[in-house]
Amino acid sequence: MKTIQAKMHNSISWAIFTGLAALFLFQGVPVRSGDATFPKAMDNVTVRQGESATLRCTVDNRVTRVAWLNRSTILYAGNDKWCLDPRVVLLTNTKTQYSIEIQNVDVYDEGPYTCSVQTDNHPKTSRVHLIVQVSPKIIEISSDISINEGSNISLTCIATGRPEPTVTWRHISPTAVGFMSEDEYLEIQGITRAQSGDYECSASNDVAAPVVRRVKVTVNYPPYISEAKSTGVAVGQKGTLQCEASAVPSAEFQWYKDDKRLVGGQKRVKVENRPFLSKLIFFNVSEHDYGNYTCVASNNLGHTNASITLFAPGAVSEVNNGTSRRAGCIWLLPLLILHLLLKF
């Protein structure tokens, strides 16, 4: 009975002591560094969220009492657990070391922890700061958008993490200029068709690999005919008139001869459409096919047209091109002979 009472008394005074020690700490009473051989706690302890943190305190055989505190709350005093948190466990309590482990660390565990010891009836404390790191995470990002050329856009990318992650926006395109914005927000005024494509938001804080998410920006614009070349085809030959247009959404094409619309799938003429290209194919050109044709490209933002001519091929260009080609062959002949000679 007497021993139990004494033990209780001891515990209570110890609690008061450790409590006071913590109080001193909070009032900014510094740990004397002159005779800091013990208690010796580590420097700051840095762990990632979800990992375990080990808090070590080096002691010697003059030490009579030991405790670990979280702020002013006693976690362990000697072998006795004072807190209810099941994540806190005693690792070692020997003549040289007194350490505890905090499992599955979370951000609210961050803060000062104190190792409190009693040597020759003198209390001493040593503090270690637990730092909890959290990998970056993108919690909010703009969805893919489709807008008309000339509009203003604003993309948002919100990330969390510890330390606070750095957020950058980058335009992914073969001709991209690299980083666009070192900010959570990317604003583009008067967007151009060249600025369409994927935009990548990256959040990094050195705790883990950066996290990356992409937003697709589609810039719509009316058709623009980039190529429509007149063609010379002889009677009886196969001939093709070609019209190329860029547009978003992609253009639909129509062909006219004078005012008459040409529909594909006829016996003599066929219209072949691809997203950026339309071909008017004549299987067997006849005299009355010659003339002006109009290619009309349209999408929901507008339409444009170009006129091209199917004509009977002129003699001049044929002769010139033919001569140069023949000249090339003459030069090739000695080379061919040389090659044959070397082989044997």
Within residues 209-238, the interface with ligand NAG by CB under 6 A covers: 236
Q: Which two tokens stand for residue 309?
A: 């001519």
Bridge partner residues of 63 (DSSP): 119
We find the least distance from the C-beta atom of residue 213 to ligand NAG, in angstroms, to be 25
Within residues 140-199, the interface with ligand NAG by CB under 6 A covers: 151-152, 189
CB 306 within 8 A of CB 294: yes
CA distances in angstroms from 159 to 156, 190, 211, 258, listed in the order given? 10, 27, 9, 60
265 binds ligand NAG (CB under 6 A): no
We find the least distance from the C-beta atom of residue 194 to ligand NAG, in angstroms, to be 18
256 binds ligand NAG (CB under 6 A): yes
Closest-CA residue to 103 (of 126, 75, 136): 75
CB 59 within 8 A of CB 37: no
132 binds ligand NAG (CB under 6 A): no
Q: For the chain, give the longest Cα–Cα distance.
A: 127
114 binds ligand NAG (CB under 6 A): no
DSSP state of 27: T
108 binds ligand NAG (CB under 6 A): yes
User: Could you count the other beta carbons within 10 Å of the beta carbon of residue 339?
Assistant: 9
Count interface residues toward ligand NAG (CB under 6 A): 29
Identify which of residues 265 and 334 has a Cβ nearer to ligand NAG in the complex.
265
| Range in contact with ligand NAG (rule: CB under 6 A) among 67-75, 201-209, 221-229, 240-248 | 67-75
Closest-CA residue to 298 (of 248, 223, 224): 223
Identify which of residues 66 and 88 has a Cβ nearer to ligand NAG in the complex.
88
Ramachandran angles phi, psi of 148, nearest 5°: -85, 150
In whole angstroms, give the CA distance from residue 224 to residue 194: 14
70 binds ligand NAG (CB under 6 A): yes
309 binds ligand NAG (CB under 6 A): yes
Closest-CA residue to 88 (of 111, 108, 71, 70): 70
| Range in contact with ligand NAG (rule: CB under 6 A) among 4-12, 174-182, 203-211, 304-312 | 304-312
Identify which of residues 133 and 168 has a Cβ nearer to ligand NAG in the complex.
133
We find the least distance from the C-beta atom of residue 291 to ligand NAG, in angstroms, to be 5
Print the binding letters for residues 32-51 with ligand NAG: x by CB under 6 A, - otherwise. -----------xx-------
Closest-CA residue to 254 (of 220, 282, 296, 290): 296
Given the rule CB under 6 A, which residues bind ligand NAG?
43-44, 70-71, 75, 83, 85, 88, 102, 108-109, 129, 151-152, 189, 236, 256, 284, 286, 291-292, 294, 296, 305, 307, 309, 317, 320-321
